Amino acid sequence: MFDIIYILEMIGIVAFAISGMIVARSKNMDPVGVFTIGFITALGGGTLRDLMMDNHPLYWIKHQEQPILILVMAIIFSYWRRAEKLKASRIVFPDAIGLGIFSILGAQLALDLGHSWFIASLLGVMTGTFGGALRDTLCNEVPFIFRKDQIYASISFAGCWLYFVCQWLLASETLALTIGLLFIVIVRMLAVRFDIRLQRDPSQH
């Protein structure tokens, strides 16, 4: 199971880092800014999770290959001319992947440390959303998690509970993880594609 988890973590880091670097380039940031935003987006949620659970050393400190990977990506993004043409709207897909992976893995780690389903779901949401919230705040954008026209944290929360229930019913952690992850990614993409919201502006009726 470790290998699957590690591979998913690296995919999530790459996905979130890409979303952060796209936004950073759209804001004309220099290589330091691109690295900083990519780093915070990819590892901010996991850092908050580890601090909340007093889990030391922080995961990315124990696995230095993760920040090294982000540094390499930042260098490529900073000097790749085509990156300048990527619009900030292109972050939706990699952001959805990062949201799904880190929500489920954050919840799973909380369960492994003995926390209840409810607390684990909250920690999963924090892990999946905090990095993106920091990215948007530092780039002078309203974070997805706070926007009325976006379903974000609620999808993460629901996906975590789906993972818990599937793990309980199916007795297969790998299958439950896959179902929860795919649920978050697919529902997030559908919500964006079809403009699905929890609350609509009365003026739109």
Which pLDDT score, from 0 to 100, does residue 68 have?
A: 97
CA distances from 110 to 1, 41, 87 (A): 16, 21, 35
Dump pLDDT digits (tens) for 45-54. Answer: 999 999 998 8
Which pLDDT score, from 0 to 100, does residue 56 have?
A: 86
pLDDT surpassing 60 at residue 2: no
Q: Using the structure block, give the residue that is written with the tokens 């997030």.
A: 188
Residue 171: band (very low, low, confident or very high) from pLDDT cuts 50, 70, 90: confident
Q: What angle do CA 55, 155, 146 make, to 5 degrees?
A: 85
Dump pLDDT digits (tens) for 118-156. Answer: 999 999 999 999 999 999 999 999 998 888 878 999 999
Q: CA-based diameter of the chain, in Å?
A: 52
In the chain, alpha helices (H): 2-26, 31-52, 59-62, 65-79, 92-112, 117-138, 153-170, 173-193
Among 183, 139, 126, residue whose Cα is nearest residue 159? 183
Residue 83: band (very low, low, confident or very high) from pLDDT cuts 50, 70, 90: low
Dump pLDDT digits (tens) for 175-200. Answer: 999 999 999 999 999 999 988 887 76
